[in-house]
Amino acid sequence: MRIATFNVNSITARLPRLLAWLESSGTDVLCVQEAKCSDAQFPHDALRELGYESAVNATGRWNGVALLSRVGLEDVVKGLPGGPDYEGVQEPRAISATCGGVRLWSVYVPNGREVEHDHYGYKLEWFRALSEAVAEDAAGPRPFAVLGDFNVAPTDEDVYDPAVFAGLTHVTPAERAALEALRAAGLSDVVPRPLKYDRPYTYWDYRQLAFPKNRGMRIDLVYGNAPFAKAVTDAYVDREERKGKGASDHAPVVVDLDLDA
């Protein structure tokens, strides 16, 4: 089974590229972040023509997550159980389902904006709720993984220049401790480093030629429990999909599983 996670940065803007990528990549299940549309605007029909069922948690022009599957889509849960509100709203940042016998979450962790901003505290609260919500599945016998845009670079090696990010969100000790708490629930990073290149970043800003200069960050992650990690046969960042006109500012992260191993 091939599972991937991809912050598409607007599924409507990226749809032709996304459909082509799904066909060429052979992906069975895709976790989507930043759909930036409502459920009614989501391209269910176009995806269905390719053989994908869709489960969506999206409410408008911001945020929004989804799961696309051609191997089944069962027991869908929209939202983060016990998750915090932001400005009185439960933002659409999480969705989970069982696909081909594997329980998966697609998450879009809050950005945090600035360390002094209320959104930073909200981000840490959101992480705490996520760790609590996944603990039972993480410790269970069924393959289970949380995939998505975590908006945290796990180590200094996951940013192109740590000095540039000093004092900023995405690299603070508290954010990295939140990732460690998630791992402590029974999950591990299943994408190995190094890959086929020195620094497997997943996000590059559109500005200042960040992608051609490889000034990126690794913030799109795949955290799996022991049965999931045991089944992983390969993992990679599809940098090619970040190239060219109309690309997202993120690249897909792809993981292959052998569930019979």
- Active site amino acids: 108, 149, 250
Is 149 known as a binding-site position? yes
Distance, CA of 226 to CA of 134 (rounded, Å): 14
H/E segment holding residue 165? helix 162-165
Closest CA relative to residue 255, chosen from 150, 148, 134:
148
- Helix 173-184 vs helix 118-138: crossing angle, to nearest 10: 10
Please indicate if the annotation marks 34 as binding a ligand.
Answer: yes
CA dist 104 and 188 (Å) reads 14
What one-character DSSP code corresponds to residue 242?
G
Q: State the residue for tokens 């697609």.
A: 106
165 exposure class (CB count in 10 Å sphere: 0-12, 13-18, 19+): middle
CB 5 within 8 A of CB 252: yes
For residue 148, which amino acid is it? G
Q: Is 111 annotated as a binding residue?
A: no
Distance CA 71, CA 173 (A): 39
In 3D, which of 169, 133, 168, 140 has the Cα closest to residue 227? 140
CA dihedral 104, 157, 164, 166 (to 10 degrees): 80
* The dihedral sign for the CA sequence 206, 211, 212, 215: positive
d(CA 17, CA 23): 10
Q: Which residues are annotated as a binding site for Mg(2+)?
A: 7, 34, 149, 151, 249-250
The annotation places the binding site at: 7, 34, 149, 151, 249-250
